[in-house]
């Protein structure tokens, strides 16, 4: 249960008063001492995937000299920042990639900038020509110009002010005139965005994942004057030389090598000085639950805590109980595609799964995908040159929350939906995706038009949605889709689903009994029993109904879906109950009806039935009068008028020779000109089909005289069923034999008649 508690102090008080079990946000260090002294409360810490840093303007002389920047890095006392400014709640950091990131080079280099080494800094400045020319105790630049440094820090942060003061002290210790100036944060941030003037500026950075493809953009020489990129205006050809391998190799080892080499160059060059990586704190109660997981990214506020938490044995565990978490903001939408709240995302992550997932240590693990392969043209000639193809073999036990299978069709449809839905934020990084399809039920293939390892995470981390739901939402409805649980059941795949929600107060989740990723649970043995119904066929316009029998000891509610859209729902009040829907007046088509029953303990059972509605009404056609005319006369026609709900094609025969063929409609009578015949008696027969291959026909006799006497042969030729191939002058094709066969659907035998047409281009 996520309970809305907006104020930090109120969340701490709720934890102390046993109103919640976990604070749903990283706690402010000011509360640390209070929480450490409280009974039955533990505080866990995890290094932030981010840091505080000082950026240096590499476009400005003499800050563009590497020796100056390295001298400052060596002189700065990063350990003092962690000990004094952060009271021990941070650690020194050198690399631009956080040390919690598996791609980080932190700790691998033969040197660090952690301890203040003013002597080495002074030596670097001396060797680079930074001398005190006028012997006033202050160094000048190598060209003799005055050297002074302004370090700008945000006036709203005590940490920033302390870091700025220590940075100024380091420069002064190197004989450089320097001062730290508290400044309006947004004023200097705007200058950085557009590469305005500055010397040094203090900032912070946080990352939402462990991908490091941004190294190829953030400090790329080409972006040294690009708005919003490359704050230090850094240019370095050696650094850029690794860019292509980082971005475009599909091989993890190559990508890892490029990331390390780029960091080596970057740390040596010091376009920014990373000051610290601070600690994030999570607080939770220990008297009722155990199994808390201190995830490397999210701390105890993690997906893995929700998966592993359980009641203590002495309290009746491991099953049962309500785990209570505070949430600083109410959920803004149950549509994760439209939400902009990190607090909402944390909840919605419990509803949907992805192909791969990060474990508590930050490493990729198989999830919906059991295995995957990455191929380029070099690996597989069927992959176009320059493309990357990902093939995922999926876990075949994963299901949606109604028990229906989660398949590769859902994966392919989801990726195509994200890419094609206008403005969908989940599609912005899928522009290079050229194909997503499911050649087999549990094999998904996704291809991109360039080579890159990073596409794996672009597709691997995205939530998968049901194909039927996406087809119902439509591409233009991605941001207006508005789930309303628990009034309307959400079809999900994750470990939990919504069981109760009161806006502004709380959202309650109940475990999904079908969840494939929870090996400790089996589907509830007391889930509702729903009587199955065999698939069957009815005639359009017939009156019938569907009835399910539902039994359960603790019934709750039911829903009936037609092609995945809820058409009826209600409460279940009896342990044995029937629910019925009418099938009156359904049009021709195939309908999938599903009855889902829910009980009070969170169990659910779904039963589906396929109803095929057939049109078994033949077209109606009038009988025009027979025609008599004298050979050579003109203006002689036959006009038929036909009606049917689903008109299709017609053919007209003269005796047993086909004359015309085409499509017909109720609103357009079919007229045939019968001029030009020699004296004799003829049968003109029209055969009409509707789209269900119901047939109707009519024959009109045409008598042609020679003008002097009645023709001697007045017996019309009996028309025969066309069974040979005849050239079709109307459609430019051939009509083959009329075929008939039977199929069995459910308990009924259906006779199907098919007219096979072969179309070909006219010469």
Neighbours of 480 (CB within 10 A): 10
pLDDT in the model for residue 255? 96
Buried b (16+ CB within 10 A) or exposed e, 187-217: ebeebbeebeebbbbbbbbebeebbbbebbe
- 320: its two tokens: 């049962």
Mean pLDDT of the 404-423 span: 95
pTM of the complete model: 0.66
Between CA 452 and CA 470 the distance in angstroms is: 28
pLDDT in the model for residue 595? 92
Contact by Cβ (8 Å): 538, 613: yes
The average confidence (pLDDT) of the chain is 88
Domains of the chain: 50-278 (3.10.105.10), 336-491 (3.90.76.10), 529-614 (2.60.40.10), 621-759 (2.60.40.10)
Mean pLDDT of the 119-139 span: 95
Within 403-552, residue ranges assigned H as helices are 408-420, 455-460, 467-473
Asked if residue 232 has pLDDT above 50, the reply is yes
Between CA 686 and CA 67 the distance in angstroms is: 96
Asked if residue 394 has pLDDT above 50, the reply is yes
pLDDT in the model for residue 576? 80
Residue 760 pLDDT level (bands cut at 50, 70, 90):
very low
Contact by Cβ (8 Å): 629, 571: no
pLDDT in the model for residue 719? 41
Contact by Cβ (8 Å): 390, 396: no
Between CA 168 and CA 372 the distance in angstroms is: 52
Asked if residue 759 has pLDDT above 50, the reply is no
DSSP lists the bridge partners of residue 653 as: 658, 685
Between CA 592 and CA 91 the distance in angstroms is: 59
pLDDT 10s digits, 349-393:
999 999 999 999 989 999 999 999 999 999 999 999 999 999 999
Residue 640 pLDDT level (bands cut at 50, 70, 90):
very high
Asked if residue 320 has pLDDT above 90, the reply is no
pLDDT 10s digits, 683-699:
999 999 988 888 999 99
Location of structure tokens 């179309």: 759
Mean pLDDT of the 283-297 span: 94
Contact by Cβ (8 Å): 338, 273: no
Residue 481 pLDDT level (bands cut at 50, 70, 90):
very high
pLDDT in the model for residue 127? 97
Mean pLDDT of the 152-181 span: 96
In terms of residues, how long is the chain? 763
- 733: its two tokens: 């094709």
Question: Pseudo-torsion of CA 507, 510, 512, 517, nearest 10°?
Answer: 90
pLDDT in the model for residue 526? 64
pLDDT in the model for residue 247? 95
With left for phi above 0 and alpha for psi between -120 and 50, is residue 585 left, alpha or beta?
left
pLDDT in the model for residue 529? 85
How far CA 603 is from CA of 316, 492, 607, in Å, comes to: 21, 14, 14
Identify whether 327 is preceded by a cis peptide bond (ω within 30 of 0): no
Neighbours of 744 (CB within 10 A): 9
Share of the chain above pLDDT 70, in %: 91
pLDDT 10s digits, 255-270:
999 999 999 999 999 9
Residue 518 pLDDT level (bands cut at 50, 70, 90):
low
Least confidently predicted of 17-26, 401-410, 621-630: 401-410
Contact by Cβ (8 Å): 202, 229: no
Q: What does the DSSP 8-state code read for residue 405?
A: B
How far CA 675 is from CA of 631, 632, 703, in Å, comes to: 8, 8, 11
Neighbours of 673 (CB within 10 A): 10
pLDDT 10s digits, 439-477:
998 999 999 999 999 999 999 999 999 999 999 999 999
CA 90 to chain centre: 35
- 97: its two tokens: 């990639």
Mean pLDDT of the 204-233 span: 95
pLDDT 10s digits, 66-94:
999 999 999 999 999 999 999 999 999 99
Between CA 461 and CA 481 the distance in angstroms is: 22
Between CA 59 and CA 71 the distance in angstroms is: 18
């Amino acid at each position: 249960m996520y309970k809305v508690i907006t104020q930090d102090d109120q969340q701490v008080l709720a934890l102390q008063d046993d109103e919640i079990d976990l604070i749903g946000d990283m706690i402010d260090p000011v509360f640390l001492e209070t929480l450490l002294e409280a009974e039955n409360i533990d505080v866990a810490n995890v290094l932030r995937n981010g840091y505080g840093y000082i950026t240096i303007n590499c476009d400005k002389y003499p800050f563009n000299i590497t020796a100056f920047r390295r001298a400052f890095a060596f002189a700065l006392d990063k350990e003092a920042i962690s000990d004094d400014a952060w009271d021990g709640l941070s650690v020194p950091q050198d690399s631009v990639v956080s040390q919690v990131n598996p791609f980080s080079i932190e700790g691998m280099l033969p040197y660090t900038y952690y301890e203040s080494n003013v002597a080495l800094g002074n030596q670097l400045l001396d060797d680079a020509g930074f001398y005190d020319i006028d012997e006033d105790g202050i160094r000048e630049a190598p060209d003799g110009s005055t050297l002074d440094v302004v370090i700008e820090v945000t006036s709203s942060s005590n940490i920033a002010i302390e870091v700025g003061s220590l940075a100024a002290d380091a420069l002064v210790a190197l004989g450089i005139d320097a001062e730290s100036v508290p400044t309006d944060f947004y004023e200097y941030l705007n200058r950085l965005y557009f590469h305005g003037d500055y010397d040094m500026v203090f900032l912070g950075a946080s990352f939402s994942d462990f991908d490091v493809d941004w190294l190829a953009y953030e400090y790329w020489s080409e972006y040294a004057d690009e708005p919003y990129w490359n704050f230090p205006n850094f240019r370095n050809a050696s650094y850029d030389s690794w860019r292509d391998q980082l971005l475009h190799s599909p091989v993890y080892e190559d990508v890892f090598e490029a990331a390390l080499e780029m960091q080596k160059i970057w740390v040596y060059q010091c376009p920014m000085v990373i000051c610290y990586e601070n600690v994030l704190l999570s607080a939770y109660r220990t008297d009722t639950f155990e199994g808390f997981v201190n995830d490397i990214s999210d701390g105890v506020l993690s997906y893995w805590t929700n998966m592993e938490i359980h009641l203590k044995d002495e309290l009746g565990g491991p099953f049962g109980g309500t785990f209570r978490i505070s949430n600083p903001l109410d959920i803004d939408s149950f549509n994760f595609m439209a939400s902009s709240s990190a607090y909402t995302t944390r909840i919605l992550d419990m509803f949907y799964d992805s192909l791969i997932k990060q474990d508590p240590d930050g490493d990729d693990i198989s999830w919906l995908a059991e295995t995957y392969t990455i191929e380029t043209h070099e690996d597989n000639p069927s992959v176009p040159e320059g493309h990357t193809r990902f093939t995922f073999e999926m876990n075949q036990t994963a299901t949606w929350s109604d028990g229906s299978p989660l398949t590769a069709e859902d994966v392919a449809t989801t990726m195509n939906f994200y890419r094609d839905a206008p403005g969908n934020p989940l599609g912005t990084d899928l522009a290079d995706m050229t194909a997503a399809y499911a050649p087999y039920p549990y094999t998904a293939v996704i291809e991109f038009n360039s080579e890159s390892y990073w596409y794996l995470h672009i597709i691997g981390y995205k939530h998968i949605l049901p194909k039927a739901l996406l087809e119902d939402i439509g591409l233009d409805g991605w941001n207006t889709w508005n789930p309303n649980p628990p009034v309307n059941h959400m079809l999900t795949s994750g470990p939990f689903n919504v069981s109760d929600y009161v806006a502004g107060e709380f959202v309650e989740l109940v475990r999904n009994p079908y969840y494939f990723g929870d090996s400790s649970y089996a589907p509830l043995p007391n889930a509702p029993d729903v009587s199955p119904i065999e698939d069957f066929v009815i005639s359009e316009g017939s009156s019938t109904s569907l009835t399910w029998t539902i039994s359960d000891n603790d019934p709750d509610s039911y829903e009936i879906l037609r092609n995945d859209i809820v058409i009826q729902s209600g409460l279940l009040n009896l342990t044995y109950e029937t629910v019925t829907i009418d099938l009156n007046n359904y049009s021709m088509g195939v309908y999938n009806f599903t009855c889902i029953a829910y009980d009070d303990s969170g169990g659910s059972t779904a039963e589906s039935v396929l109803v095929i509605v057939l049109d078994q009404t033949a077209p109606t056609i009038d009988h025009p009068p027979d025609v008599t005319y004298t050979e050579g006369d003109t203006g002689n026609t036959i006009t038929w008028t036909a009606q049917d709900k689903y008109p299709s094609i017609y053919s007209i025969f003269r005796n047993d020779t086909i004359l015309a063929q085409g499509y017909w409609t109720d609103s357009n009578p079919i007229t045939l000109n019968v001029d030009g015949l020699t004296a004799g008696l003829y049968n003109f027969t029209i055969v009409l089909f509707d789209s269900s291959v119901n047939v109707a026909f009519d024959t009109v006799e045409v008598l042609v005289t020679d003008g002097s006497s009645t023709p001697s042969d007045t017996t019309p030729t009996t028309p025969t069923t066309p069974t040979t191939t005849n050239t079709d002058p109307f459609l430019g094709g051939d009509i083959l034999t009329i075929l008939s066969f039977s199929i069995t659907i459910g308990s009924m035998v259906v006779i199907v008649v098919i007219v096979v047409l072969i179309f070909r281009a006219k010469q």
